[in-house]
Amino acid sequence: MQWQTKLPLIAILRGITPDEALAHVGAVIDAGFDAVEIPLNSPQWEKSIPAIVAAFGDKALVGAGTVLKPEQVDVLAEMGCKLIVTPNIQPEVIRRAVALGMTVCPGCATATEAFDALDAGAQSLKIFPSSAFGPAYIKALKAVLPQDVPVFAVGGVTPENLREWIQAGCVGAGLGSDLYRAGQSVERTAQQAAAFVQAYREAVQ
């Protein structure tokens, strides 16, 4: 299994509104990101996601986060989403997304959950919340997982500590509040996106 984008960092824009979405997504893509997630607990995501797909679907893997039900996967597929991110392991959600040709990055914490996700067809895994477990936990978990499964750290990842997660065996990370907080300026988003891209490049040199 191989992660589909050139930069294995997922921009998580939780809380973004349709009016702001295009400007902030444009900023992270300009910084070098090519995977973007709009969580479904964001306001009017049903407007933001199709707009982002239309504007940037040829430049980035665009998708949704906090996906909990198979029915949501169907709606998102119709919108043109290519990425499904979940906070938990719901095999039916994973199977539905895989059947529709989407990339799935489900959230797990234990070896049992990780293997349940892989059995359902997940092509990658996110360890969530990573900050509660730490890099040493992920390193230990990676020891029993298939080596070719891309593992992402999500939760508490900053430009300053990204290197620790990469060294623990993560291919990359999902970046939430340290990249984007609801209401912040586009300039702040661009600044943080550039910091994360630089941190990643330095970590993998």
Tens of pLDDT, residues 46-59? 999 999 999 999 99
Catalytic residue among 20, 82, 126, 142: 126
152: three-class secondary structure by DSSP: strand
d(CA 93, CA 27): 30
Catalytic residue status for 187: no
pLDDT, one tens digit per residue, over 83-93 is 999 999 999 99
pLDDT of residue 2: 85
Q: Where are the domains of the chain?
A: 9-204
Q: What is the CATH architecture of 9-204?
A: Alpha-Beta Barrel (3.20)
- In tens, the pLDDT along 14-57 reads 999 999 999 999 999 999 999 999 999 999 999 999 999 999 99
Q: Residue 153: pLDDT band by 50, 70, 90 thresholds?
A: very high
SS percent in the chain: helix, strand, coil, step 5: 45, 15, 40
Options 20, 37, 82, 142, the catalytic residue: 37
- In angstroms, the CA 119 to CA 124 distance is 12
Torsion, Cα 121 96 116 84, to 10 degrees, reads: 80
Q: Is 92 tagged catalytic?
A: no
